[in-house]
Amino acid sequence: MYAAPYRRVSFCLVRQISNDDAMLPRYWALGQSKSHGSGLLFQAETLDWGKQAIPRRVDTIPGAQDESREGKAVNKRAGAPPTIIDVARHAGVSIKTVSRVMNKEPTVHADTRARVMEAVTALNYRPQLSARSLAGAKSFLIGLLYYDPSAAFVAGVQRGATRGCRDAGRHLVVESLQTNGVDVHAQIEAMLAALRPDGMILTPPLCDNPAILDVLRATGTPTVLISPASEGHGMAHVCMDDALAAEEITNLLISLGHTAIAFVEGNQTASERRREGYERALKAHRIALDKSLVVPGNFEFEAGVAAGNALLARQRPPTAIFAANDDMALGALTAAQRLGVAVPHDVAIVGFDDSRAATLVWPELTTVRQPLAEMAMAAVDMLLSGEAKIDAHQVAPVRVLPHEVVVRGSTAAPAKGRA
């Protein structure tokens, strides 16, 4: 007794009792579809499978032309979406080759890849995520885990990660995680069990949370950290040089003639690196650090308003304010306008991020362009290339991306008599 495969839209098995047609079910012998009920006919073929004569039944549509010898898609039911088999036939390659091309594996010859992609375009083929997961033991999902009070930062990272996943035929799952008073281990383990992601991307401050990193290490989940505080985590990460960027934008203010430059801190490790660059620039120009001009913040707009109010109410207010992110810089700008302090004539203000809001205010904000989208795309690439696999015996890979100081209308030389 042999199991003879036949094709409709998906694969099933039909039992053959004998090579004698008289012993087959009547609907097979008569060429009628008992199971379909759709007027389909069956075309008998014989395959040499292990030197046994195995009849195979192939669904055909009445009036359709059999073009299989020409390497084109055949036997598609009207209205049915194309399958990976149709793509393979159209391109004249194996199903495995199509799968490798769709998964962007590097082992496929360029000509073959081009032929497969032409077939994909011609047939408008879209791979089914569930089928790909079953076939390759992959979920084709990449997780992005965040907790950040700055919407601009999260939006930039999400935009880049989405683009990178789309280009690679993956899907992005975005999860927000609260770490206060909750069982972080349980949250992460439940998420990993439910999603089975092929990799995870973590943003600050979660990328420095030991409980989260321990779970990811224990489960062997490939992970890329964006702008972690320490390179000692032993995981792949992507970042920019925050300290250098902060030093450069502080140098810009000094070059304009400012010496009384305030700094509004954030509440994450990135702020520490930016303060380091700020102090480094002051020291390089032999400007004494006035610690009273360093005020606390938390990366939120309201903190920038409070800092602006406090700094501008001083008997000798600073001539420039450097906020550790754009949200706080915009808060300081709002405070100045409410107090009737002209920007940039009375006080220059700079930020860090180059968020969308930086160009929606007047004057537009001078800031550091942080390559958020590019860092997220690099993180996706590191996951897909295998760089992000956790290996305690190897040095974790790092990618450092370039930044840019963007000069706009919120900076100018200090008014005469003030510096």
The fold for domain 141-240+374-388 equals Rossmann fold (3.40.50)
CA distance 365 to 358: 5
pLDDT at 127: 64
108's tokens: 């496929």
The neighbour count for residue 354, using CB atoms within 10 Å, is 24
What's the pLDDT at 191?
81
Candidates 47, 63, 69; CA nearest to 3 is: 47
Q: What are phi and psi of 282, to 5 degrees?
A: -60, -45
Tokens of 349: 């203000």
Read off the tokens for 323.
Answer: 């906020």
Q: Give the C-alpha distances (Å, rounded to integers) separating 295 from 126, 176, 251, 310, 332.
A: 54, 29, 20, 9, 12
User: What pLDDT is attached to residue 34?
Assistant: 38
Q: What pLDDT sits at residue 205?
A: 85
Question: Using CA atoms, how far apart are residues 58 and 130, in angstroms rounded to an integer?
Answer: 25
What is the architecture of the domain spanning 242-370?
3-Layer(aba) Sandwich (3.40)
Closest CA to 242 of 253, 226, 254: 226
Return the closest-CA partner of residue 297 out of 256, 330, 337, 319.
330
pLDDT at 415: 86
Question: 3-class secondary structure for the chain?
Answer: CEEEEEECCCEEEEEECCCCHHHCCHHHHCCCCCCCCCCCEEEEEEEEECCEEEEEEEEECCCCCCCHHHCCCCCCCCCCCCCHHHHHHHHCCCHHHHHHHHCCCCCCCHHHHHHHHHHHHHHCCCCCHHHHHHHHCCCCEEEEEECCCCHHHHHHHHHHHHHHHHHCCCEEEEEECCCCCCCHHHHHHHHHHHHCCCEEEECCCHHHCHHHHHHHHHHCCCEEEECCCCHHHCCEEEECCHHHHHHHHHHHHHHCCCCCEEEECCCCHHHHHHHHHHHHHHHHCCCCCCHHHEECCCCCHHHHHHHHHHHHCCCCCCCEEEECCHHHHHHHHHHHHHHCCCCCCCCEEECCECCHHHHCCCCCCEEEECCHHHHHHHHHHHHHHCCCCCCCCCCCCEEECCCEEECCCCCCCCCCCCC
Distance CA 15, CA 2 (A): 7
Beta-bridged to residue 223, according to DSSP, are 200
> How far apart (Å, rounded) are the C-alpha atoms in residues 64 and 59?
11
| Ranges in the chain annotated CATH 3.40.50.2300 | 141-240+374-388, 242-370
Q: Report yes or no: 307 and 323 within 8 Å, Cβ to Cβ.
A: yes
What's the pLDDT at 419?
Answer: 62
Residue stretches of the chain with pLDDT short of 50 = 1-75, 129-136
Which of 103, 80, 88, 199 is CA-nearest to residue 142? Answer: 199
Length of the chain: 419
Structure tokens at 246: 């902060």
